[in-house]
Amino acid sequence: MKTMTRPTTRTLPVTQPAADCCTPLVIPTSPDAGTTTAAKRFKALGDTTRLTILTTLAAAPEPVCACDLGDGVELEQPTISHHLKVLREAGLVISERRGTWGFYQLHPDTAAWVRAVLAAAPD
Amino acid sequence: MKTMTRPTTRTLPVTQPAADCCTPLVIPTSPDAGTTTAAKRFKALGDTTRLTILTTLAAAPEPVCACDLGDGVELEQPTISHHLKVLREAGLVISERRGTWGFYQLHPDTAAWVRAVLAAAPD
DNA sequence: TAGGTACATCGGCAGATGTGGATATATCGC
DNA sequence: GCGATATATCCACATCTGCCGATGTACCTA
């Protein structure tokens, strides 16, 4: 099959197509480790409940009780517990048990990243 | 039912529980518009394919041909077309038709946000 | 006009995801 | 120990998501 002469990103032909295409761009064949972990984190952020929780934790100067995290949201307890688990497994938060209560805070290793990402203005 | 005396985030009682809890934190009851749109954007970022595409577009000085976006990835054409649609509907990219080819670039309104978010180092 | 090419859309499928009731576990107060 | 409470886990269910083959649409070239 004869492939159509492909455009380069540099020349951007509209009327006159350029010569055959080249090494197009730096597109990795399979996603590298950094891309994979970043995607996992963004996926964890891609839910209003989890985003609200993370925003709260990012603003709190100290660990926050899970009961406080849940009572503003109109969801049942198992559901917010599930979301907290997702955030834990994404490496974004850590939990600490104090008696019956569980206290959550941003994971020390990723807190800077979370705050930087949340600080980006949503226009 | 008698609720247990809840801990405040400030005192963080371990042995001696504090008095009844107060206005705990600024947790919105239902997610506001900003949180909702931010969650949509993060969800769009939460996939390695789309993250790779966005990284490519963020680095490109000019619109990129869809054919270039697709040929590094080991996915069929309908699949990458689907991902591009997701990015379009999330308001992160715009497309432009030039003859048979489609050229993509970051959406002008959200390009700054995308670059800022992608610039956050994944540690 | 006819054939070929680039991209979008449709339809279907397997697996992931969000939600909540029921239940388990651990702790506190009596 | 016993009852009550906070959180986690289990299970089921409806929906969403990623993927691709088949098909549709628009365009280019001859």
* Confidence at residue B58, expressed as pLDDT on a 0 to 100 scale: 98
Nearest CA in chain B to A73: B29
DSSP state of A101: E
Q: What is the pLDDT of residues A15-25, one digit of tens each?
A: 333 323 323 44
Q: Is B47 on the interface with A (CB under 8 A)?
A: yes
CA atoms within 13 A on the CB side of A25: 27
Q: DSSP 3-state helix, strand, coil percentages of chain B (rounded to 5)?
A: 45, 10, 45
Is the pLDDT assigned to residue B19 strictly greater than 70? Answer: no
Q: What is the pLDDT of residues B40-76, one digit of tens each?
A: 999 999 999 999 999 999 999 999 999 999 878 999 9
Q: Is B120 on the interface with A (CB under 8 A)?
A: yes
Residue B30 and residue B32: Cα distance in Å, rounded? 6
The model's confidence at residue A71, banded by pLDDT at 50, 70 and 90, is confident
Q: What is the pLDDT of residues A24-39, one digit of tens each?
A: 444 456 778 899 999 9
Average pLDDT over residues A58-82: 95
Question: DSSP per residue over B41-90, as a string?
Answer: HHHHHSSHHHHHHHHHHHH-SS-EEHHHHHHTSSS-HHHHHHHHHHHHHT
Average pLDDT over residues A85-112: 98
Task: Report whether B52 contacts B82 (CB < 8 A).
Answer: no
Candidates A43, A46, A68; nearest CB to B24 = A68
- The C-alpha of B17 sits at a distance from chain A's nearest C-alpha, in angstroms, of 10
Contacts of B97 in chain A (CB under 8 A): none
* Confidence at residue B9, expressed as pLDDT on a 0 to 100 scale: 45
Position with higher pLDDT, B108 vs B34: B108
Give the three-state DSSP class for A105.
strand
Is the pLDDT assigned to residue A47 strictly greater than 60? Answer: yes
* Confidence at residue A78, expressed as pLDDT on a 0 to 100 scale: 98
Share of chain A above pLDDT 90, in %: 67
Contacts of A56 in chain B (CB under 8 A): 25-27
Contacts of B98 in chain A (CB under 8 A): 7, 12-14
- The C-alpha of A78 sits at a distance from chain B's nearest C-alpha, in angstroms, of 17
Residue B84 and residue B78: Cα distance in Å, rounded? 10
Q: Is A25 on the interface with B (CB under 8 A)?
A: yes
Q: DSSP 3-state helix, strand, coil percentages of chain A (rounded to 5)?
A: 45, 10, 45
Task: Report whether A22 contacts B19 (CB < 8 A).
Answer: no
Residue B53 and residue B63: Cα distance in Å, rounded? 12
Is the pLDDT assigned to residue A51 strictly greater than 60? Answer: yes
The model's confidence at residue B1, banded by pLDDT at 50, 70 and 90, is very low
DSSP state of A4: P
* Confidence at residue B22, expressed as pLDDT on a 0 to 100 scale: 29
* Confidence at residue B102, expressed as pLDDT on a 0 to 100 scale: 97
The model's confidence at residue A109, banded by pLDDT at 50, 70 and 90, is very high
* Confidence at residue A29, expressed as pLDDT on a 0 to 100 scale: 60
* Confidence at residue B23, expressed as pLDDT on a 0 to 100 scale: 36
CB contact under 8 A, A71 and B34: no
Q: What is the pTM of this model?
A: 0.85
* Confidence at residue A2, expressed as pLDDT on a 0 to 100 scale: 44
List beta partners, residue B7.
none
Mark residues 85-114 of chain B whose C-beta is closer than 7 A to nucleic acid strand C. Answer: 85, 95, 100-102
- A18: which 2 tokens? 């350029």
Average pLDDT over residues A64-86: 94
- The C-alpha of B88 sits at a distance from chain A's nearest C-alpha, in angstroms, of 16
